[in-house]
């Protein structure tokens, strides 16, 4: 439940179990979570939810995570502030370059443990705060 | 309240009634579990559904009906199996039986906030976003061509003529190549803002100017003269263009530095289009654009020819000077060495990128490289203190130059040859052979632009470099991007494993400096610490600049 006024997070994953685990874990930590099951849904929800952070799975049918990331980052207002964290097995150098090309800010390597995920979310929120302050 | 929101439920529990009381303007509608699916859509004001049945078929029917009607669903679950089922059905919220009214109210709230959009509503929204993206360039905020044509249609018909100006911004792609797309985006934004400012300033003019961005790096202006006013003359347009050019240049220099401002040129082509009722208006305009674009291109070609001539005279007069950019230790900030940056004495050849591009076209690469190398090496004596290293840029082409390395250098061990990862090395065995010879002579090597994506770590390892210079795009805003930090960390580890040192160039801000230092980068180069400093330009060369 969102009580502490934490910023909203959009979780995008076509695997319901994954999405659900992430959602439960972050919700108990007080983040308002919205889940999207695919790229289209994520983009449709983007303007309504105005997430501070998007946790974006790369491998999805239809629009994949890369495309969704690029489109979100091009959004005239939200694109500047939103932080996109790719959830993927990004161990190859090329994948990381691809992620940079698409404008991603961070990534969580799959399979991940929830503590790492929470730490990643936190460091990106901290970065967002300093960016806003300056 | 007459227009109260309705929560439809099959729960007979008291706590849900209490939860509803906590929400403003809500009332409860109760049905049996069996009746619930059919009731959805029949009770006016229904905004959400709360289900507690443990019959999977009824649950499914209820959720499907509710989602079909665009209503969020909260499911009360008895156990883990029911929870899984609810999650499978993608309900907005679930909670365990026996929850307190407070929690029920909060879950209900969350479900509403999440408010599952219907499939149709969703694809509408996606389409709308995409449609708007098509009409206006997201970066510059300028309208795209189809929008412009629509806007100018009536005026064009009425006035009977239109002037199309095509602005070709040359070498913007170079910025992307060197500094990465983020920088190019920023530069394009500055450009568009400068163009808009310029248009606002020229507003008193009775004629009308409109601008569009072609999504690449060109801008198109439509000039529709006001009724009773003659279309702008060639002279007026030339004057306007040069004012705009100066304005954009000044803005870019102020925001992004002279290094970037010196990189690009603007060429403008012009076409006068007259209205012809027999021909479709769009076609007339597109023809005009093409004509203007061609005119811009031929001006560009003329300019290039002039630059080649400039280069030839520069080579004759040895009209190249060197800026020395300090490279310092990350921890002590003491000077380790200098990168030699060759610049043309002539203003048209100030930027090394431009100079070498012209040389490549005119097949003068070796000559220019020799001159630049020679000049740079002079600095070993005149500019550097003993023990400091001199980094000079070499093109892989240079390795096939028979004269390369023949420049007698007293102590080659003070010279580091920077090989860019960008230029593909074609004849690899031969290249390696040359490399070994030079290495034996004492020269050291740096791989430039590492991590830019042209070569993997494997091919970097093959060159056995003494230094790895990270690509500028990796350093730009590294403090806020964790992927860049991770990549740099990988490079540092790689370098440490191979006995090389990592150099971060393009460090412009304190935060970037701190970030690379914390990541273990050994050496740093950038405006944050030092600007490149010019060695004195010899008098004989100043004369070249004057006479040209």
**Closest residue of chain B to A109, computed from CA coordinates:** B483
Largest CA distance in chain A: 40
Selected for mutation to probe chain B from A33, A78, A100 (highest B CB count within 10 Å) is: A100
CB neighbours of residue A60 within 10 Å: 23
- Averaged pLDDT for residues B491-519: 95
Start-to-end CA span in chain B (Å): 85
CB neighbours of residue A89 within 10 Å: 13
User: What does the pLDDT read at residue B421?
Assistant: 65
pLDDT(B185) > 90: no
CA distance B36 to B32: 6
CA distance A104 to A126: 16
Question: Which of A79, A101, A85, A82 has its CA nearest to residue B182?
Answer: A101
Tens-place pLDDT, residues A22-61: 999 999 888 999 999 988 889 888 988 899 999 999 888 8
pLDDT(B123) > 70: no
CA distance A65 to A13: 9
A47/B122 Cβ within 8 A = no
A107/B141 Cβ within 8 A = no
B87/A16 Cβ within 8 A = yes
> Which residue has tokens 């160039």?
B505
- Taking each helix axis from N to C terminus, what angle separates A39-49 and B119-135, rounded to the nearest 10 degrees? 80
The separation between CA B381 and the C-alpha centre of its own chain, rounded to angstroms, equals 40
Say whether A82 sits in a helix, a strand or coil. Answer: coil
User: What does the pLDDT read at residue B206?
Assistant: 45
The dihedral region occupied by B535, where left means phi > 0, alpha psi between -120 and 50, and beta the remainder, is beta
Whether the CA torsion B268, B274, B278, B281 is positive or negative: it is positive
Selected for mutation to probe chain A from B105, B481, B515 (highest A CB count within 10 Å) is: B481
Q: Which of A100-104, A110-114, B36-40 is least confident?
A: A110-114
pLDDT(B539) > 50: no
**Closest residue of chain A to B456, computed from CA coordinates:** A93
Q: How far is B125 from chain A (nearest CA, A)?
A: 6
- Averaged pLDDT for residues B431-439: 86
Q: Label residue B453 by pLDDT band (50, 70, 90).
A: low
Contacts of B113 (CB under 8 A, 6+ apart): A32
Burial class (CB in 10 A: 0-12, 13-18, 19+), B92: buried
pLDDT(B121) > 60: no
pLDDT(B405) > 50: yes
Query: Is residue A34 less than 8 Å (CB to CB) from chain B?
Result: yes
CA distance B497 to B12: 69
User: What does the pLDDT read at residue B372?
Assistant: 92
pLDDT(B547) > 50: no
Q: How far is B74 from chain A (nearest CA, A)?
A: 14
Q: How far is B329 from chain A (nearest CA, A)?
A: 27
Q: Which of A17-26, A83-92, B367-376 is least confident?
A: A83-92
Question: Which of B393, B403, B315 has its CA nearest to residue B352?
Answer: B393
CA distance A20 to A17: 5
- Residue B79: CA atoms inside 13 Å, Cβ hemisphere, count? 3
Say whether B349 sits in a helix, a strand or coil. Answer: helix
Say whether B343 sits in a helix, a strand or coil. Answer: strand
A94/B453 Cβ within 8 A = yes
A44/B122 Cβ within 8 A = yes
Which chain A residues contact residue B87 at CB under 8 A? 16-17, 20
pLDDT(B535) > 70: no
Better pLDDT: B430 or B302: B302
pLDDT(B381) > 80: yes
Which chain B residues contact residue A121 at CB under 8 A? none
The separation between CA B4 and the C-alpha centre of its own chain, rounded to angstroms, equals 50
Q: Which residues pair with B63 in a beta bridge?
A: none
Give the percent of chain B with pLDDT over 70: 85
User: What does the pLDDT read at residue B116?
Assistant: 47
- ipTM value > 0.85: yes
B141/A75 Cβ within 8 A = no
B126/A101 Cβ within 8 A = no
Give the percent of chain B with pLDDT over 90: 28
Range with the largest mean pLDDT of B83-92, B120-129, B341-350 = B341-350
Mean pLDDT of chain B: 83
Q: How far is B301 from chain A (nearest CA, A)?
A: 32
Rounded alpha-carbon distances, angstroms, from residue B490 to B255, B301, B451, B475, B495: 32, 44, 10, 14, 9
Q: Residues B78, B54: contact at Cβ < 8 Å?
A: yes
What is the torsion angle, in degrees rounded to the nearest 10, for the CA atoms of residue A55, residue A59, residue A63 and residue A65? 30
Rounded alpha-carbon distances, angstroms, from residue B235 to B218, B241, B243, B270: 22, 10, 12, 12
Tens-place pLDDT, residues B136-172: 666 666 777 777 788 788 888 888 888 888 888 887 7
Closest partner CB to B129 (pick from A41, A43, A120)? A43
CA distance B219 to B211: 7
> Which residue has tokens 């439960």?
A24
Closest partner CB to B483 (pick from A48, A71, A99)? A99
pLDDT(B207) > 60: no
The separation between CA B34 and the C-alpha centre of its own chain, rounded to angstroms, equals 57
Query: Is residue A133 less than 8 Å (CB to CB) from chain B?
Result: no
Residues of B at the A interface, defined by Cβ within 8 angstroms: 87-88, 90, 103, 106-107, 110, 113-115, 117, 121-123, 125-126, 129, 133, 138-139, 141, 180-182, 451, 453, 456-457, 473, 480-484, 486-487, 490
B136 secondary structure, DSSP code: B
User: DSSP for B479-513?
Assistant: GG-HHHHHHHHHHHHHHHHHT-EEEEE---SHHHH
Query: Is residue A50 less than 8 Å (CB to CB) from chain B?
Result: no
Query: Is residue A45 less than 8 Å (CB to CB) from chain B?
Result: yes
User: What does the pLDDT read at residue A55?
Assistant: 96
Pairing of strands B533-534, B161-170: unpaired
Which chain A residues contact residue B110 at CB under 8 A? 1-2, 32
CA distance B141 to B131: 14
Closest partner CB to A40 (pick from B122, B180, B483)? B122
User: DSSP for B162-206?
Assistant: EEEEEEEEETHHHHHHHH-HHHHHHHHHHHHHHHHHHHHHTTTSS
Q: Residues B275, B172: contact at Cβ < 8 Å?
A: no
| Paired tokens of A28 | 């108990």
- Averaged pLDDT for residues B255-270: 83
């Amino acid at each position: 439940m969102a009580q502490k006024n934490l910023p909203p997070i959009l979780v995008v994953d076509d695997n319901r179990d994954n999405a659900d685990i992430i959602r439960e874990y972050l919700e108990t930590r007080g983040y308002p979570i919205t889940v999207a099951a695919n790229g289209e849904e994520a983009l449709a929800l983007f303007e309504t939810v105005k997430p501070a952070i998007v946790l974006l799975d790369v491998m999805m049918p239809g629009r994949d995570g890369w495309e969704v990331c690029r489109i979100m980052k091009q959004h005239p207002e939200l694109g500047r502030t939103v932080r996109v964290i790719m959830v993927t097995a990004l161990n190859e150098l090329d994948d990381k370059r691809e992620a940079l090309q698409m404008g991603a800010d961070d990534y969580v390597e799959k399979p991940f443990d929830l503590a790492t995920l929470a730490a990643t979310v936190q460091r990106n929120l901290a970065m967002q705060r300093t960016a806003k302050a300056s | 309240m007459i227009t109260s929101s309705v929560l439809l439920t099959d729960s007979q529990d008291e706590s849900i009634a209490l939860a509803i009381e906590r929400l403003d303007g809500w009332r409860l509608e109760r049905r049996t579990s069996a009746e619930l699916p059919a009731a959805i859509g029949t009770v006016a004001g229904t905004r959400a559904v709360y289900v507690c049945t443990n019959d999977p078929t009824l649950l499914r029917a209820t959720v499907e009906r509710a989602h079909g009607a665009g209503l969020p669903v909260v499911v009360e679950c008895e156990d883990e199996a029911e929870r899984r089922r609810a999650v499978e059905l993608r309900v907005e919220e679930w909670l365990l039986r026996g929850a307190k009214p407070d929690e029920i109210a909060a879950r209900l709230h969350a479900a509403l906030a999440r408010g599952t959009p219907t499939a149709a509503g969703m694809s509408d929204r996606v389409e709308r976003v995409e449609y708007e993206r098509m009409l206006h360039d997201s970066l510059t905020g300028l309208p795209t061509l189809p929008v412009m044509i629509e806007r100018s249609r009536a005026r064009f018909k009425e006035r009977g003529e239109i002037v199309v100006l095509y602005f070709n911004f040359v070498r913007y792609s170079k910025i992307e190549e060197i500094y990465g797309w983020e920088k190019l985006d920023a530069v394009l934004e500055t450009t568009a803002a400068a163009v808009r400012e310029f248009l606002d300033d020229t507003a008193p003019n009775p004629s009308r100017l409109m601008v569009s961005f072609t999504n690449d790096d060109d801008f198109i202006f439509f000039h529709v003269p006001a009724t009773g006013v003659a279309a702008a003359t060639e002279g007026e347009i030339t004057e306007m263009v040069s004012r705009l050019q100066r304005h954009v240049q000044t803005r870019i220099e102020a925001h992004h530095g002279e290094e970037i401002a010196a990189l690009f040129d603007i060429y403008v082509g012009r076409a006068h289009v007259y209205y012809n009722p027999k021909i479709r208006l769009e076609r007339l305009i597109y023809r005009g654009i093409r004509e203007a674009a061609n005119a811009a291109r031929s001006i560009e070609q003329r300019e290039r020819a002039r630059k080649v001539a400039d280069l030839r005279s520069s080579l004759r007069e040895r009209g190249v000077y060197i800026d020395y950019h300090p490279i310092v230790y990350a921890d002590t900030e003491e000077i380790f060495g200098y990168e030699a940056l060759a610049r043309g004495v002539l203003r048209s050849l100030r930027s090394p990128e431009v100079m070498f591009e012209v040389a490549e076209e005119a097949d003068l690469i070796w000559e220019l490289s020799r001159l630049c190398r020679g000049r740079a090496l002079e600095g070993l004596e005149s500019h550097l203190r003993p023990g400091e290293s001199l980094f000079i840029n070499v093109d892989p082409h240079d390795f096939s130059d028979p004269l390369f390395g023949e420049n007698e250098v007293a102590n080659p061990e003070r010279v580091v040859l920077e090989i860019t990862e960008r230029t593909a090395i074609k004849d690899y065995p031969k290249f390696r052979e040359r490399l070994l010879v030079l290495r034996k002579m004492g020269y050291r090597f740096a791989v430039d632009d590492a991590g830019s994506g042209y070569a993997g770590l494997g091919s970097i390892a093959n060159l056995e470099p003494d230094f790895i210079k990270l690509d500028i795009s990796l350093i730009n805003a590294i403090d806020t991007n964790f992927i860049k930090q991770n990549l740099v960390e990988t490079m540092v580890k790689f370098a440490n494993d191979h006995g090389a040192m990592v150099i971060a160039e393009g460090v412009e801000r304190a935060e970037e400096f701190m970030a690379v230092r914390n990541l273990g980068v050994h050496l740093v180069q950038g405006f944050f610490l030092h600007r490149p400093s010019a060695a004195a330009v010899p008098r004989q060369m100043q004369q070249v600049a004057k006479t040209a």
